[in-house]
Amino acid sequence: MSKYVDGFVLTVPKKNLEGYKIMATKASVVWKDHGALEYRECVGEDMTPEGVLPFPTLTNLKEDEVVVFAYIVYNSREHRDEVNAKVMADPRIKESCDPEKMPFDCSKMAYGGFQTIVES
């Protein structure tokens, strides 16, 4: 059975990257505790490909920001919905994800759920 993936692309001010990493590390524990199969947060390193739309252009990246690509893997969309309902009710998320204290601009985050079509 193919897995289901929530994917995220966002920008984080360089000065807030350590705070973002701390927040993401805490979030990863909560997601995994509630059944997520994988949780990854990745910071852009090779952002100058030729012949394609680079993430810095896609995200309108500022000089003082970095691109973060993140994803969470589930068994299915139904599994994702069950896990996310538990995560959103978890007090650990409520205390660490106050929109006023986020280390990045949530309005610049892209998010979507994806059905896996190739798995190797």
Domain count, the chain: 1
Q: Is residue 71 part of a domain?
A: no
Instruction: Tell me if 20 sits within 8 A of 103, measured CB to CB.
Output: yes
Q: Over its length of 120 residues, how does the chain's per-residue pLDDT go in tens digits?
A: 689 999 999 999 999 999 999 999 999 999 999 999 999 999 999 998 999 999 999 999 999 999 999 999 999 999 999 999 999 999 998 877 666 778 998 888 999 999 999 998
pTM of the model: 0.93
Q: Does any domain span residue 8?
A: no
**Does 84 map to a domain?**
no
Q: Is residue 114 part of a domain?
A: yes
Please indicate, yes or no, if residue 20 is contained in any of the structural domains: yes
Half-sphere exposure of 24 (CA within 13 A, CB side): 21
Strands 38-43 and 65-74: what pairing?
antiparallel
